[in-house]
């Protein structure tokens, strides 16, 4: 089950050290011992220009950045796909890739899941989670739960990380783009309300609610309702529901 307290802490962090520690703790609660997160201006930009947060051992992180980044099939997948990649020894096929995996194993990196992020302004981010070496193979049900949770968590990670980069160019005028009714719909959606629920509260039709969200996505330049919620939280327009 998603720990929303930690997600909201991520959104509110104004120090990158606290932010990364929160991310590492969240990953550990799912059985991931090591995390590599990078965010760059676009997918063509070199790793040297990326902002990186990782709890990899420093010697391995340096080796990876200097030697292995360009041949890593995990990176190649993330650059070319929006889908998560469940990776293990079989993912590494060429001689160079096999050597990469053998070296990585010495630093506790044998298998894991990688999540790509392609931002609305061409930003590229990669979130790679390595499973604990002692972890048992996951059942299909558990794997499905993890994939479902982290498909959402990665949006929070991506949006909250941008405050620490030069990529973050939110104009304060964005706060005035939405109408009061659009803000109300976002707040209700953040509280878990369906379009039908919102239509009842707002005394309108579901079609009207969906029209509001279509406008919100266009104004925020995002593709999903959840991404709009995350951005609205980041701008301080809406707030998580208190239990």
**CB neighbour class for 135 (10 Å; exposed up to 12, middle 13-18, buried from 19):** middle
- Bridge-based pairing state of the strands 112-118 and 51-54: unpaired
d(CA 114, CA 147): 10
Q: Looking at residue 168, what is its pLDDT?
A: 52
Q: Is the dihedral of CA 174, 175, 181, 187 positive or negative?
A: positive
CA 67 centroid distance within chain? 25
User: What is the pLDDT at residue 175?
Assistant: 65
Residues 6+ positions from 36 with CB-CB distance below 8 Å: 52, 54, 56, 61, 64, 126, 127, 128, 130
Other Cβ atoms closer than 10 A to 101: 22
pTM above 0.85, yes or no: no
Query: Rounded distance, CA 125 to CA 78, Å?
Result: 8
Give me the percent of the chain exceeding a pLDDT of 70. 94
Identify the pLDDT of residue 221.
Answer: 85
220 pLDDT more than 90: no
pLDDT digits (tens, 9 = 90+) for 138-161: 899 999 999 999 999 999 999 999
For the residues 3-23, what does the mean pLDDT come to?
Answer: 86
pLDDT band at 243 (very low <50, low <70, confident <90, very high): very low
d(CA 116, CA 93): 21
In this prediction, residues 85-97 reach a mean pLDDT of 97
- Give the model confidence (pLDDT) of 96-129 as tens digits: 999 999 999 999 999 999 999 998 888 899 999 9
Within 33-179, where are the H helices?
58-63, 73-80, 95-105, 140-161
């Amino acid at each position: 089950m998603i720990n929303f307290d930690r997600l909201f802490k991520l959104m509110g962090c104004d120090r990158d050290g606290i932010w990364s520690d929160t991310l590492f703790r969240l990953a550990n609660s799912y059985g991931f011992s090591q995390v590599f997160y990078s965010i760059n201006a676009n997918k063509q930009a070199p790793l040297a220009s990326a902002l990186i947060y990782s709890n990899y051992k420093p010697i391995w992180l340096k080796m990876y950045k200097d030697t292995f980044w360009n041949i890593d099939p995990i990176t190649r997948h993330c650059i070319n796909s929006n889908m998560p990649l469940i990776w293990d020894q079989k993912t590494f096929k060429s001689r160079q890739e096999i050597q990469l995996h053998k070296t990585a194993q010495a630093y506790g990196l044998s298998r894991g899941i990688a999540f790509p992020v392609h931002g609305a302004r061409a930003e590229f981010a990669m979130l790679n989670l390595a499973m604990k070496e002692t972890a048992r193979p996951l059942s299909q049900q558990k794997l499905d739960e993890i994939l479902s949770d982290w498909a959402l968590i990665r949006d929070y990670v991506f949006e909250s990380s941008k405050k620490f980069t030069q990529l973050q160019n939110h104009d304060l005028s964005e706060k005035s783009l939405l109408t009061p009714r659009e803000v109300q719909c976002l707040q209700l959606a953040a509280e878990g309300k369906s379009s039908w629920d919102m239509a009842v509260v707002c005394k309108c039709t579901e079609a009207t609610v969906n029209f509001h969200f279509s406008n919100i996505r266009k104004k925020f330049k995002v593709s999903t309702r959840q991404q709009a919620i995350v951005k609205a939280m980041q701008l301080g327009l809406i707030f998580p529901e208190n239990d």
